[in-house]
């Protein structure tokens, strides 16, 4: 495996204005140095964390997915984040990883944030996905998924190198964001990337950023503060591989089966 260069874009999103958000994010991506392999945007980066799915949803043939494709091709890098997507009669908070060649992979958020009514407006995904950028195996998850360690648990059947969270995680619970990102890295012996937003959304919910890349010891390799900005780092595979070989904790991990429906009350 070769190193993986990751850029985090932490933005102050415009409420329900996909065109304005695409413009702001495009400017941030333009400022990145050449050679980035993966650009990570926040959850619902086109709209903010909205429950107005019928009016704000796009399709997989829509303007923002086209923008992702054009951006990935222009910068010769994979670009990812989540969008409100209409698929048939359902709406999804869908993570999309767009590759430079125009191919894409998706993951539909499983754990819908009940306190904001997300489960009343969106359908939950039920499938774990392992995506690939270069030789790296990436497990994509979205915001509230962070609170549910069983869903993210690395196993021999669901192995990965990098756990990636995109989020709109509010500032009143910011300490939980920081703590849980570290916990997921330590317990899964993996790198973790968490990309949050900043600013205040259309529901007057504030966000404090804190986007970070964390290693398998739980150390922050890079972190953004509470302002809009970006950060880039190249992750090395060899330290992770050596750590797992020296400390094969997964041999003693419990086995389990995931059951249930997150739509149930």
> Which residues are designated catalytic?
43, 109, 143
Domain contains 263: no
3-class SS of residue 157: coil
Q: What residues make up the domain containing 47?
A: 4-252
Domain contains 186: yes
β-strands 191-195, 162-166 pairing: parallel
Report in angstroms the alpha-carbon separations of 23 from 30, 64, 70, 258: 11, 11, 13, 40
Residue 260: band (very low, low, confident or very high) from pLDDT cuts 50, 70, 90: low
Q: Which tokens belong to 129? A: 């996905």
CATH number at residue 242: 3.60.110.10
Whole-prediction pTM: 0.95
Domain contains 200: yes
Per-residue model confidence (pLDDT) at position 264: 44
> What's the CA gap between 7 and 241, in Å, rounded?
22
Over range 66-71, report the average pLDDT.
98
Within a 10 A sphere around the Cβ of 264, how many other Cβ atoms? 7
Per-residue model confidence (pLDDT) at position 261: 58
Q: How many domains does the chain have?
A: 1
Helix (H) or strand (E) holding 18: helix 18-30
């Amino acid at each position: 495996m070769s190193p993986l260069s990751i850029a985090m874009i932490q933005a102050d999103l415009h409420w329900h204005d996909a065109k304005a958000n695409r413009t702001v994010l495009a400017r941030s991506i333009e400022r990145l140095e050449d050679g980035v392999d993966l650009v990570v945007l926040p959850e619902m980066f086109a709209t903010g964390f909205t429950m107005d799915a019928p009016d704000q949803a796009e399709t997989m043939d829509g303007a923002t997915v086209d923008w992702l494709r054009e951006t990935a091709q222009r910068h010769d890098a994979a670009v990812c984040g989540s969008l409100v997507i209409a698929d048939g009669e359902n709406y999804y908070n869908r993570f999309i990883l767009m590759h430079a060649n125009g191919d894409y992979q998706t993951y539909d958020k499983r754990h819908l944030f009940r306190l904001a009514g997300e489960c009343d407006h969106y359908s939950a995904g039920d499938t774990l996905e392992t995506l690939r950028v270069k030789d790296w195996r990436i497990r994509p998850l979205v915001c509230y998924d962070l609170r549910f360690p069983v869903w993210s648990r690395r196993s021999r059947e669901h192995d990965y190198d990098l756990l990636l969270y995109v989020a709109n995680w509010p500032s009143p619970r910011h300490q939980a964001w920081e703590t849980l990102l570290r916990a997921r890295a330590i317990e899964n012996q993996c790198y973790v990337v968490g990309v949050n937003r900043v600013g205040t959304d259309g529901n007057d919910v504030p966000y404090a950023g804190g986007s970070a890349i964390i290693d398998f010891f739980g150390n922050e390799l890079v972190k953004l503060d509470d302002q809009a900005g970006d950060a880039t780092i190249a992750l090395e595979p060899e330290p992770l591989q050596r750590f797992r070989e020296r400390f094969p904790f997964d041999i003693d991990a419990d086995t389990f089966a995931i059951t249930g429906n997150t739509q149930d009350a």
